[in-house]
Chain A
Amino acid sequence: MAKRVSASNVTAYYGGFKAIENINLTVEPKTVTALIGPSGCGKSTFLRSINRMHEVLPGARVEGSLTIDDQDIYDRDVDVTAVRRTIGMVFQRPNPFPTMSIFENVVAGLKLNGVRKKSILEDAAEKALRAANLWGEVKDRLGKPGAGLSGGQQQRLCIARTIAVEPQVVLMDEPCSALDPISTLAIEDLMFQLKDKFTIIIVTHNMQQAARVSDRTAFFSIEKTGDPGRLIEYDNTQKIFSNPSVKKTEDYITGRFG
């Protein structure tokens, strides 16, 4: 059920500002791909354009083509909600719904899309929470508010919420940047397990993390502030971190730049 994501000539704008230009890359199914690069280079913008979250902001638009298994998600007759159900997203800061309990948070995607039957919801919640390594910690307090969990637990709750709708691609926008090392480790372990079923694309500022979790790594960069971000190099993670073919990638990875 995991799908191939393929971008060709993707250019994204915020109003008149061009944030990324001509991004071409293909992400294979059931792999983890890391997007790295300095702040403001357009990694998050690119990630958000993969599930059409970019256009949520007023004035933001995307050009070029982005396909999921040969289906262009920017076609005129494509249903945005279907795209987002197929391509889930985990955000930088955990954002559980404050008015909902842990259980309601996990099944929010199903419930708000019309699934009513309690037994289905309960099964889905347990499955998603187990997959997110959270079941053991919350199984006795599913009725308690989701906002009452610790930061790391909240983030795993958000991951459970995302995978409960059974997407085919999971996007993660710096999912560990607000978490401590133990929670980070838990989420990295989780990514290893999830890649059996999902295609995962993760934005991270932490290069050790990129090296640890990803199969392929894409390095983005900008010439100078105000210029659009470009894809500099995209290759196997091993190659990028040991023997990059572009000088700029090497400079960034060794800490000489950015």
Chain B
Amino acid sequence: MTTTATSHRTRPPAQPDSLRAKRLPWYAAPAIAVAALALSAVIVYGTSIGGPVLVVVLAAILYLVGLFAAANAVEGRRSARNRTWSALIHSAFVLAVLPLVSVVWTLVSKGADRLDVNFFQTSMNNIGARDANGGAYHAIVGTLEQVGIATLITVPLGVLCAIYIVEYGRGKFAFAIRFFVDVMTGIPSIVSGLFVLAFWVLIVSPWFNDGRPSFSGFAAALALSVLMLPTIVRSTEEMLRLVPAPLREGAYALGVPKWKTILRVVLPTALPGIVTGVMLAIARAAGETAPVLLVAGGGAAINTNPFENNQSSLSLFVYQQAGDASKYAPARAWTAALTLVALVLILTIAAKLLARRNRLSR
């Protein structure tokens, strides 16, 4: 039994008589937007059911409906769908960007108060609740050292691991490694902190410290490494897989050994993507508070030695200052947060420029 629905689908669409079609005038969309906004304002304030947010939300819905109706009446169904979906996609973009802009704006406006030279030159040592100054020098040093050491540990390890998985790994062993890397991706930062606390701080560090366990920035770097490693392995793996097989074969066909092909052809081709993955891992590690609190202990004084005694970090500094009773503390927390974001941004830009240093990539 053939229904009309299937029978009309099997027929090719009728040829249009003309290639021209009616179009809405250019001012139609803005006009509908203004009308939707006005109508929405009248409804919301007339019945006093909400504020400006509801006006915007309702206006957006009215705009979509109005646009579809107008386009459907003048331009036809296909064009109406096209306009509605375009509008939906644009609004999704605005919705996604809104929180980002809001965060940056909040950080800049609130962080500007203490954005002075003193903040970057002093620590919190001997700063009491009534002191307006004090700074994050010790925290910046801590973040740079901990993240730096963690990067030095994880980048070679992670990239080599990804090379193993993509280029050499066969069978169950490679599968197991991939599986455990995936599992590692989901490790909460507090768990990695606890692991380093139990393993490094309590068991290993007494050997170097006259039998007493000791917090250190290095322990924090280890905890951050546990968090960074899976991100780097997975992103590098994806990037290596994107390198076209003909490039490898081209090198093999020249008699280039496999390891050299990987080193001189495959890695350079994948480099920009690998750098992006590393930067994502660094950004994540720089923002971690819990492991640093657990294994580096924090601290108010400047400690440039990552292998001994307490160290702080910017995110830990933000956490401590935000919870501090002093009325001057929140301003310090905001500025530290701004500093952290700026630091990650600068590192990301620097890394991208370095990866592009190759004059050949466009």
Contacts and interface: CB of A to CB of B under 8 A. Distances in A.
B199 interface: no
Given A97-B250, A97-B251, A99-B268, A81 B257 contact: yes
Interface in B13-71: none
Interface string B161-183: 00000000010000000000000
A109 B249 contact: no
Contact of A162 (B253, B257, B261, B360): B253
Assign chain B's interface to a size class.
20 to 34
Contacts of B261: 112
B124 to A, nearest CB: 47
A186 B238 CA distance: 39
B254 A97 contact: no
B186 interface: no
B35 to A, nearest CB: 52
Given A98-B269, A99-B358, A88 B253 contact: yes
A107 B337 CA distance: 50
Contacts of B260: 112
Contacts of A85: 254-255
B254 to A, nearest CB: 3
B254 A95 contact: no
A112 B250 contact: no
A89 B247 CA distance: 12
Given A95-B246, A99-B268, A51 B253 contact: yes
A58 B359 CA distance: 35
A53 B249 contact: yes
B255 A109 contact: yes
Interface in B238-292: 244, 246-257, 260-261, 264-265, 268-269, 271
A99 B269 contact: yes
8 contacts: A56-B248, A85-B255, A91-B253, A95-B247, A99-B361, A112-B256, A112-B260, A112-B265
Interface of B: 170, 244, 246-257, 260-261, 264-265, 268-269, 271, 358-362
Given A56-B252, A95-B244, A165-B255, 17 more contacts: A58-B170, A82-B255, A83-B255, A86-B255, A88-B253, A88-B254, A91-B253, A95-B250, A97-B247, A97-B251, A98-B247, A99-B265, A99-B268, A112-B254, A112-B261, A158-B250, A162-B254
